[in-house]
Amino acid sequence: MASDKVLHVNDAEFDSLVKSAQPTLVDFWAPWCGPCKAIGPVIEDLAAEYDGKVTIAKMNVDDNPVTPGKFGIRAIPTLIIFKDGEVVDQITGSVGKSELVELIKKTE
């Protein structure tokens, strides 16, 4: 079930998205990445669960090379949590929902 709560962001929109006072979790991914596909449903669940509290976005690294380069992303999936435009923390690899909830809690 695809959620309409997950934003798909590009290089041009990225800065304005993460400069929000509301925390933003960005999933840097690619369509050919198996672990990225595996974590997809977890991202969808979090988007529904934290709707209105945390912005959840996905960025395709193949289509948007500038932003991943700026953050030194060398492996995907990489998930970065931002608050007020600043990186709070990040996780690389396919992780479970509990690890992502802990990541989000760091912005509270």
Which active-site residues does the annotation give?
33, 36
- Cα–Cα distance for residue pair 10/66, rounded to 1 Å: 9
HSE (side-chain half, CA atoms, 13 Å) at 99: 13
Q: Which amino acid, residue 12?
A: A
Contacts of 103 (CB under 8 A, 6+ apart): 25, 79, 81, 88, 89, 90, 91
**Run of H or E residues at 104:** helix 97-105
* Coil/strand/helix, residue 83: strand
